[in-house]
Structure 1
Amino acid sequence: MVAVIKSSASIKNVLQYNENKLKQNVAQLIHSGNYGKDTEQLGFTDKIRTLEKLISLNERTKLNAVHISLNFDPSEKLDKETLQKIADTYMRSIGFGNQPYLVYQHHDAGHPHLHVVTTNIQRDGKRIKMQNIGRNQSEKARKEIEKEFKLVQAEAHHLKQAYEIKPVNIQKVQYGKSDTRRAITNVLDVILPTYKYASLPELNAVLKQYNIVADRGKEGSQLYNSKGLMYRILNDKGEKIGIPIKASQIYNKPTLKFLQQKFLQNQTEKQRHKLRIKNAIDFSFVKRPEQSLQELINALQKERIQLVLRQNDKGIIYGLTYIDHQTKCVFNGSDLGKPYSANQIQERCNQQMQRHEQKLTQRPAFKHANEQKQSALTTAEENGITFKIPGVKEVFKELIQTEQEGSLAAELRNDELRRKRRKKLHH
């Protein structure tokens, strides 16, 4: 079983999302908890008023709507009664057993899954803390439920893969085979609540990995001046394609105002994770002093840190963004400190490569080749070869250099072979 918990500022939008699925005949309301009526007797007004009444008891908490999805392996054939028991057990285990909640079974995907709608505001007006609930209470509940109901474990590789967030399928969007809003929403539902970004460029650094961008429009445009926000799909070249979707048209309303609140919250929360990225960069240079920028990118990927290059139209790198997929934190290079900015990282890579080249030129084999080259030129001039014809001296130099570089390459290869033999002897 895979559980996903999301918070929202609008219980109406979350409820409406599931009710629309009912109207489309791709979902059923199969269960409810702590409502005054039986599930079959609940109308839309009953459903929303119960939740809104609790939410009104705490106006300070903005993210008061909770939307949970419980996903099962495609091989599992679970009847309605079993799904009801699983939902009740899960809600009790994560501390929502006394909250009113609605359980919808959806049939619009290739695997069985439930959607649960509730609120984190309790009857005394206090909120249930959501921080780390997915990593702590939810993970414990999931493992217990898998054992109790003999479900396929989420640790199984194929099950984890089934629910990994995937980039929007560009071909399907281009040929009208995919609903653009649904494709965008699927990505936003995972990225917005889980990653810690403190600006629109930082958020876009993550979204672009999934072929999506949050677009404010050009400065001075009506969209920009009205503080509007569109979500667009990108093709392989980073070009915007398809129909732009207004943030206000997406069910959980990821508008600019909503994002700005997240920016402030995330700015504080992500600070403690800076050191992990800085240590990974520094250790990479210690482990491999002579490395190019691409080699640094590859090294960081092994630590689940993605280095995104920000380049202008001419391909000049003007900024770096680090996405830590382990801690789900996003940082601009300059936020980590001057040594981790675009200029400094490129300079460190260039300096290390230059030092590597200098070491090679200082090797005895290279020095010997240079001495041979100079000696040959001197001997030629002493024997009366004056190189009066333009270009002949340069050709002569090139011929000597080519021959000697071949000798140098051979000597370097022999050095390498000797090192390998010594290693074998030691082992």
Structure 2
Amino acid sequence: MIARILYRENVHGVLNYVLGKTKSTVLGFQNTYSDMDTDKEFFGSVLYHLGNRHGSEKRYVHTTINLPRGERLGNGDFFELSKEYMEHMGYGEQPFMVVRHHDTKHEHVHIVSTTIREDGSMIDLSNDFRRNVATQKHLEKRYGLSPSPEAKQQNELPIYRNPQFKNKDVNGVRFYMQDILNNTLQKYKVRSFRELTELVRPHHIQVKTVKNNKDRVGVTYGIAINDGYRSRFIDGHTVHPKLSGPKLQKVFERNQSSKLLPMVKKRLEKQLRTTYKLFRTIEPEHLPDILKSHQKMDCKVDYDKEGTAIGFRIYDKSGYTFKGEEISRSLGIRRNTELFGSGYTQMYMESGQLTLELRKAITEGFRISYNNSGRKNLFSEHINGSSVRKIAQAMAKSERFVFLKKYLHTDNRSLGGLIQAEFPKVKDNLHIKESVREENELEKKAALVRGLIDKHVFDAPKSKGILFELLRSLGAKYDNSTLTYANSYRHRAELNLGNVPWPKQIDFHVSPGFVRENEKVLAGLLQKKTEKEIGPSPTAIFLPLMFPNVYQAMAEEYRIRFETLGLKAYMKNTEHLHRRFEKSPEDYIRFFNAKGFYFKKVEGKMCICSIYSKYPVSVALAPKLQAYLFSSNDLYNVLENQPNVLQSIKNKGQD
């Protein structure tokens, strides 16, 4: 099930479209004088008068609810589903009409309503996307429908669609064009009508431009499908006001003048030249796979009518698309006949670039091997004790090595010889590099400990007693005025702490991730860095659970700042996780309550707090989020019930 929301400034055009289909059924009305027999003209007048009580451009809402192809609901069930949807979206008390259309292969309804209430106020539209997704998930389960696609999808090249239209289906053509053109302009930073034409051609859309006497550019769109169907060309403004010639010209000029454009071109040129150096010959058909594997670049090869490769287009992650010659004239397929004209693909065995790629693959092999070893010692020690056989086995899991092996076209013996030749150099260089890094990191840990003590980050009476746990929370240990890593004595840093009391029983193990997070947070607090500079992760809020004595002894000033930073980071991440399940402002609050977080008003602003905080810390919500919560009619009761939920958590010992 997929629900799509469109906001409109005028309602008559929407009603004419929804009610103008010959194959349509009015399923019912809501909040009018009759659920089934309301006069359509009267309903339109009601919406018109309500909408004109407010000046917003989003006075009216047009929602379509689409079922998965092949799945059906009866008229009664579809009407009930629509009513539940509107209730969850905040339109439960608004007049609305539900109309079912039968002109496509998938079942769908159109719902028309207004965002303006009887008192002239406007329904809060903040977080409507969040509500929409969560409501979809809820209704899919309730009515046994197939789940809609997840929001996260890989960035793929356009899918060639083959739309089906019936004669004179002007509205169907227009909405298809609108959908494809809008998606294309959102996905790509288009810079010209020519580029737009090429991007939408696979979707069977044609683009024509014309200039008038005042040099203004006009644009029309048409459909041409292989089965012979051709639509008449429709003016861009008719398809959608934002798809008119002048409006698109402004978009193109903005994208063309972006300061990002020359930097993207320069980066792509460097990446392409690096790949070219690696190959003696390239079969054009293999170029998309080569660039995807080697540079993570999306590419499409262009062919002439005879099937000969004439060029390629790069679809960059920035949203820009370029032809090869546009990045640099010397990079095109026609300019590189020796590279692209042989008819097969072969890496250049003697190239310096292949040597660099092999060294990178061996380095990746060391890191993969170290991660699989459980990190019982330092990386430099692991490097020193690793054999070429051990690293070669780990390299087999590296994407880079798989890519090299695929296009080298050589036997394992020869490939092993190449690895054997480069292994000693890579091992020595990596060992030296990691040793220096580890020494510097240990010195930083020592300086951090000195700073924490000198600036009284921890209360003086308790600072001595927590030194052991503090050092271990930084992945270090102390002995005879010397600081070392917790899992190695290879490196040493001077640190005079006097006599550090050791616990009677040493049972201290924590993941490297928490150690890194703890060091980052403590260093940020000490240096008074901003939240952006520290960049705490969502797990930062749990550091007091991992290192209780350390954070219990932290001075009030630093503890309050830490709890504020941790609460912000946790809230930002958690509300993203809740999004797919949240159907209302009440859900937003209840989901956080269930985890031990609550909301309260502080000086008129809604703030989030935590039962896990040592001090009364609160974080103000963003203005749009506050408006979203205040839009709830049941906000007072939800806030009043918070203590009961929180007490239940405490009674279970989960605080």
TM-score if structure 2 supplies the norm length? 0.40
Decide whether the 8 Å contact of 2:200 with 2:206 is kept in 1: yes
Which deviates more from structure 2 when the two are superposed, residues 352-361 or residues 178-187?
A: 352-361
In 2, Cα distance between the equivalents of 1:227 and 1:414?
53
Identify the residue that residue 327 of structure 2 maps to in structure 1: 341
1:389-404 aligned within 5 A: none
Identify the residue that residue 401 of structure 1 maps to in structure 2: none
Structure 2 counterpart of 1:70, from 65, 77, 80: 65
1:368-379 aligned within 5 A: none
Structure 2 counterpart of 1:32, from 25, 29, 42: 29
Identify the residue that residue 160 of structure 1 maps to in structure 2: none
In 2, Cα distance between the equivalents of 1:129 and 1:97?
14
Alignment root-mean-square deviation, CA? 5.4
Identify the residue that residue 390 of structure 1 maps to in structure 2: none
Identify the residue that residue 97 of structure 2 maps to in structure 1: 102
Identify the residue that residue 108 of structure 2 maps to in structure 1: 113
Corresponding position: 1:87 with 2:82: yes
* Counterpart amino acid of residue 179 in structure 2: V
Structure 1 counterpart of 2:44, from 42, 47, 52: 47
Q: CA deviation at 1:105?
A: 0.9
Structure 2 counterpart of 1:149, from 136, 143, 147: 143
* Counterpart amino acid of residue 65 in structure 2: L
* Counterpart amino acid of residue 41 in structure 2: F
Q: C-alpha offsets along residues 71-123 of structure 1, whole Å, 9 cap, x if unaligned?
A: 22455442223212211222233344444332111122233211122344566
Corresponding position: 1:212 with 2:209: no
Identify the residue that residue 371 of structure 1 maps to in structure 2: none
Decide whether the 8 Å contact of 1:214 with 1:230 is kept in 2: yes
- Note closer, same or farther for the CA distance 1:294–1:414 as it changes in structure 2 (3 Å cut): closer
In 1, Cα distance between the equivalents of 2:60 and 2:265?
33
Identify the residue that residue 381 of structure 1 maps to in structure 2: none
Q: C-alpha offsets along residues 28-75 of structure 1, whole Å, 9 cap, x if unaligned?
A: 12123344654422322532541463255124x3x5543322122455
Which deviates more from structure 2 when the two are superposed, residues 193-202 or residues 208-217?
A: 193-202
Corresponding position: 1:359 with 2:372: no
* Counterpart amino acid of residue 86 in structure 2: M
Identify the residue that residue 232 of structure 2 maps to in structure 1: 243
Q: When the two structures are aligned, how many residues end up with a matched partner?
A: 336
What's the secondary structure of 2:200's corresponding residue?
helix
Corresponding position: 1:256 with 2:225: no
* Counterpart amino acid of residue 278 in structure 2: E
In 2, Cα distance between the equivalents of 1:90 and 1:277?
46
- Note closer, same or farther for the CA distance 1:353–1:228 as it changes in structure 2 (3 Å cut): closer
- Note closer, same or farther for the CA distance 1:212–1:339 as it changes in structure 2 (3 Å cut): closer
Decide whether the 8 Å contact of 2:5 with 2:61 is kept in 1: yes
In 2, Cα distance between the equivalents of 1:17 and 1:107?
14
- Note closer, same or farther for the CA distance 1:414–1:351 as it changes in structure 2 (3 Å cut): closer
Decide whether the 8 Å contact of 1:7 with 1:193 is kept in 2: no
What's the secondary structure of 1:31's corresponding residue?
strand
Identify the residue that residue 367 of structure 1 maps to in structure 2: none
In 1, Cα distance between the equivalents of 2:275 and 2:121?
54
* Counterpart amino acid of residue 215 in structure 1: K
Q: C-alpha offsets along residues 241-279 of structure 1, whole Å, 9 cap, x if unaligned?
A: 5522234555x55651684499399969x9999999999
- Note closer, same or farther for the CA distance 1:179–1:278 as it changes in structure 2 (3 Å cut): farther
Identify the residue that residue 58 of structure 1 maps to in structure 2: 55
Unaligned residue ranges in structure 1 (runs of 5+): 157-163, 364-412
Unaligned residue ranges in structure 2 (runs of 5+): 151-157, 341-345, 355-407, 419-655
Decide whether the 8 Å contact of 1:216 with 1:228 is kept in 2: yes
* Counterpart amino acid of residue 28 in structure 2: H
Q: CA deviation at 1:145?
A: 0.6
In 1, Cα distance between the equivalents of 2:269 and 2:94?
46
In 1, Cα distance between the equivalents of 2:254 and 2:81?
33
Decide whether the 8 Å contact of 2:219 with 2:244 is kept in 1: yes
- Note closer, same or farther for the CA distance 1:71–1:120 as it changes in structure 2 (3 Å cut): same
Q: CA deviation at 1:211?
A: 1.0
**Bigger relative contact order (CA 8 A; separation at least 6):** 1
- Note closer, same or farther for the CA distance 1:259–1:138 as it changes in structure 2 (3 Å cut): farther
Structure 2 counterpart of 1:184, from 154, 165, 173: 173
- Note closer, same or farther for the CA distance 1:243–1:74 as it changes in structure 2 (3 Å cut): closer
1:306-325 aligned within 5 A: 322=315
- Note closer, same or farther for the CA distance 1:289–1:33 as it changes in structure 2 (3 Å cut): farther
Identify the residue that residue 602 of structure 2 maps to in structure 1: none
- Note closer, same or farther for the CA distance 1:112–1:356 as it changes in structure 2 (3 Å cut): closer
Identify the residue that residue 131 of structure 2 maps to in structure 1: 137
- Note closer, same or farther for the CA distance 1:299–1:2 as it changes in structure 2 (3 Å cut): farther
Decide whether the 8 Å contact of 1:11 with 1:52 is kept in 2: no
Q: CA deviation at 1:5?
A: 3.0
